[in-house]
Amino acid sequence: MVAPENIRRGPQAHTNGAPVVTLEGVSKVFANGVAALEQFDLAVRPGEFLSLIGPSGCGKSTALRLIAGLGAPSSGTIAWQHGSGLPAGHGIGFVFQEPTLMPWATVFGNVFLPLRLAGVAKTQAAPQVMDALARVGLADFAAVHPRELSGGMKMRVSIARALVTQPKLLLMDEPFAALDEITRFKLNDDLLSLWESLGKTIVFVTHSVFESVYLSNRIVVMTPRPGRVLAEVAIDAPMRDRSFRTSARYVELCRITSDALARAMAQDAATAKTS
Amino acid sequence: MSRARFDTDWRERALRVALPCAALGLGVLAWDLVVRLEDIPPYILPGPGLVLSTLVSDWPVLSGSLGVTLTTTLAGLVLAVVGGIALAILFNQSRLLEYSLYPYAVILQVTPVIAIAPLLLIYLPQPAAVLACAWIVAFFPVLANTTLGLNSVDHNLIDLFALYGASRWQILAHLKLPAALPYMLGGIRIAGGLALIGAVVAEIAAGTAGAGSGLAYRIVESGYRLNIPRLFAALLLLSVTGIVMFFALSLASHLVLRRWHESALTRDA
């Protein structure tokens, strides 16, 4: 995939309309008694790039998994734009922290999987699979097994797999955390251009302030144990490119987000002292 | 690969074949010398030359026995593979079934098969009893390894399958079984050797009861008749059978896994 020099975006153009999914007063207590989320409210607007950021153990991943339907909230509601249920089948793409590829299947086989599980025949799915692979720049690697790929390429396969069903909502759980910085910057740009061209709604979990500011329209800062929304930062920069990464505005937005994150950590320290 | 690297690889490989062959040659030479110099009679210890010539001269008898033992072993192995995998899948699908039956699979495994063989010979016709023994010994590693493999699936992949609404059957066919394959093949490789042991043990038990014609029976019979060269020839055949089975199963495992599994990869240093 080709990263454009400049990525133009109008956040306001994307973020109109009713929320794609709304979490209201969502709490999640695990069987071992750990409260991951408490009274968590979040509305994901159509077309936005939303980042969830917070210290480790703040329930970011839990929130994402609940949205994906991998587990049910202990209390509270998750409401979808169309009716109350999870959009059946193809509505969601999920990218895990690890590439989570099947080592025994080729790149094609891995990207084909969601369609295969939906009962689509291989010949019928092939154009869609190849299109998804082309979008992440891996069209030439369809016949290769995952072990022959680099970490960044594996992550691209994982993203292609999430895109192949053409979901409206893409959920990404720290997808680039394990990658080196060069690969990470490249994939950041590629992800932005994908988001631009496909017009998807993305919820992105990260613990990198710099990454979240670079990518998002909106950042939600969460407190740890149990996770709650502490602050929201709107990122209004229209252009995302190398000059944005070095601009004063970028630094300022990073500082604002870092401050919010520091407050979240302080709250954690305070609750740790009282409990 | 550079010329120098290629040479080193080749030398390494040649050494790995040449050294055990040389050791074997030295061992046989020592054996031959001891027999000659000490003048040991063949009914105590025949020389290697005599064992080989007996192998040729007794081939009509021995080949028939080899066929019997080989058939039993392979049938036992196939049944063990089918039974072990089927049982592992059942256990994986139903925890109740696993809790109820798994302990008995373990009991069957830890009870020495030589002690069960006489019982089986009472209740079953002789060929079936021998086959049952081979099966009992061989099926457990397949069951245990496949069970482990089916339970060792990447949790994120299970989540992924759940996310796309995969059915139980789809999870089994497209995720659990492929993930369990390396474990399964490891179990089968162990089972191959054990099936041979099970067949031999049962043949010995049956042979002392006065029936049977497998290689193990030939060994017992030759022992009674002090036909020690034939005993050695039969033993040699059994040993070669075990070696061939091990390499055949290792090769099969390598061919199945070479595209993706770590165990089958040669690493560039």
Q: What confidence category does residue A247 fall into, taking pLDDT thresholds of 50, 70 and 90? A: confident
Closest chain B residue to A91 measured between Cα atoms?
Answer: B164
Same domain, residue pair B72 and B57: yes
Residues B14 and B35 in one domain: yes
User: Which residues, in sequence order, are CB contacts of B78 under 8 Å at separation 6+?
Assistant: none
Phi, psi dihedral angles at A95 (to 5 degrees): -115, 120
B71 and B17 share one domain? no
Average pLDDT over residues A13-25: 72
Shortest alpha-carbon distance between residue B191 and chain A (Å): 24
Chain B CA closest to residue A95: B160
Look at B264 and A125; give whichever has higher pLDDT.
Answer: A125
Mean pLDDT to the nearest integer, A236-261: 82
**Residues in chain B closer than 8 A to A117 (CB atoms):** 161, 164-166, 170, 174
Domain identity same for B66 and B139: yes
**At A2, is the pLDDT very low, low, confident or very high (cuts 50, 70, 90)?**
very low
A109 touches chain B (CB under 8 A): no
Q: Nearest-CA residue of chain B relative to A105? A: B260
**How far is the alpha carbon of B186 from chain A, nearest alpha carbon, in Å?**
16
Name, in order, each residue with C-beta under 8 angstroms of B106's C-beta and a sequence gap of 6 or more.
Answer: B140
Q: Is residue B12 part of a domain?
A: yes
The amino acid at residue B76 is: G
- Looking at the domain assignment, is residue B129 inside a domain? yes
**Residues found in chain B:** 269
B139: in domain: yes
A6: confidence class by pLDDT, cuts 50, 70, 90? very low
Please give the pLDDT value at position A155: 92
Question: How confident is the model at residue A34, as a pLDDT?
Answer: 81
Predicted confidence band at B269 (pLDDT cuts at 50, 70, 90)?
A: very low
Q: What is the pLDDT of residue A197?
A: 85
Asked if residue B85 and residue B12 are part of one domain, the reply reads: no
Question: What pLDDT digit, counting tens, does each position of A23-62 carry?
Answer: 888 888 888 878 888 888 888 888 889 999 988 777 888 8
Interface of A with B in 76-95 (CB under 8 A): 88-89, 92, 94
How do residues B77-127 score in pLDDT, each as one tens digit? 999 999 999 999 999 999 899 999 989 988 988 888 888 888 898 999 888
Could B260 and A146 be called an inter-chain contact, meaning their C-beta atoms sit closer than 8 Å? yes
In tens, the pLDDT along B221-257 reads: 899 999 999 999 999 999 999 999 999 999 999 998 8
Place of tokens 């192998």: B55
Please check the confidence at residue B162 and state whether its pLDDT lies above 80: yes
Assembly ipTM: 0.84
Domain that holds residue B163: 46-264
What secondary structure does DSSP assign to A122-142, as a single string?
Answer: HHHHHHHHHHHHHHTT-GGGT
A114 contact residues in B (CB cutoff 8 A): 164
| Other CB atoms within 10 A of residue A186 CB | 17
In a domain, B234, yes or no: yes
Q: Do B174 and A113 touch (CB under 8 A)?
A: yes
How many angstroms separate the CA atoms of B169 and B176, rounded? 10
> Cβ–Cβ of A102/B178 closer than 8 Å?
yes
Average pLDDT over residues A120-138: 91
The answer to whether A104 contacts B179, with C-beta atoms less than 8 Å apart, is: yes
Interchain CB distance below 8 Å, A145 and B166: no
My answer on whether B119 and B208 are in the same domain is yes
Domain match, B210 and B79 both = yes
Are residues B23 and B137 located together in one domain of the fold? no
CA distance B162 to chain A (A): 8
Quick one: B32 and B125 in the same domain?
Answer: no
Measured between alpha carbons, how far apart are the two ends of chain A, in Å? 50
Name the least confident of A10-24, B141-155, B163-177.
A10-24
Looking at the fold, whether B115 and B28 belong to one and the same domain comes out as: no
Distance from A170 to chain B by nearest Cα, in Å? 12
Tens of pLDDT, residue by residue over A195-221, are 888 888 999 999 888 888 888 888 998
DSSP string, A208-231: -HHHHHHH-SEEEEEETTTBEEEE
Question: Using alpha carbons only, what angle is made at residue B56 by residues B50 and B59, rounded to the nearest 5 degrees?
Answer: 125
* Number of independent structural domains in chain B: 2
Question: So what's the pLDDT on residue A164?
Answer: 92
Contact B260 A70 (CB under 8 A): no
- CATH no. for residue B120? 1.10.3720.10
Q: Are residues B102 and B145 in the same domain?
A: yes
Q: Do B165 and A70 make contact, defined as CB atoms within 8 angstroms?
A: no
The number of C-beta contacts closer than 8 angstroms across A and B is 54
Distance (Å, rounded) from C-alpha A145 to C-alpha B221?
A: 55
> What is the spatial distance between Cα A120 and Cα B208, in angstroms, rounded to a whole number?
61
CB A232 within 8 A of CB A218: yes
**Residue A268 pLDDT level (bands cut at 50, 70, 90):** low
Give the N- to C-terminal CA distance of chain B in Å, as an integer.
11
Least confident of A1-5, A55-59, A203-207, B141-145: A1-5
- Which two three-digit tokens encode residue B40? 């040991």
CA distances (Å), A231 to each of A68, A211, A217, A222, B182, in order?
A: 23, 17, 14, 7, 49
Pair B60, B7 in one domain? no
Residue B46 or A14, more confident: B46
Q: Which two tokens stand for residue A32?
A: 């071992």
The alpha-carbon gap from B260 to the nearest alpha carbon of chain A, in Å, equals 5
Q: A145 and B154 in contact by Cβ < 8 A?
A: no
Average pLDDT, chain A: 83
- B246: closest CA of chain A, how far (Å): 24
Give A70's contacts in chain B (Cβ within 8 Å): 159, 162-163
Contact A98 B181 (CB under 8 A): no
pLDDT for res B208 = 57
If you classify domain A17-87+169-274 with CATH, what class do you get? alpha beta
Tell whether B269 is covered by a domain. Answer: no
What are the tens digits of pLDDT across the range B163-178? 888 999 999 999 999 9
Q: Which residue has the higher pLDDT, B147 or B269?
A: B147
Mean pLDDT of B138-157: 93
Cβ of B1: how many Cβ atoms within 10 Å?
9
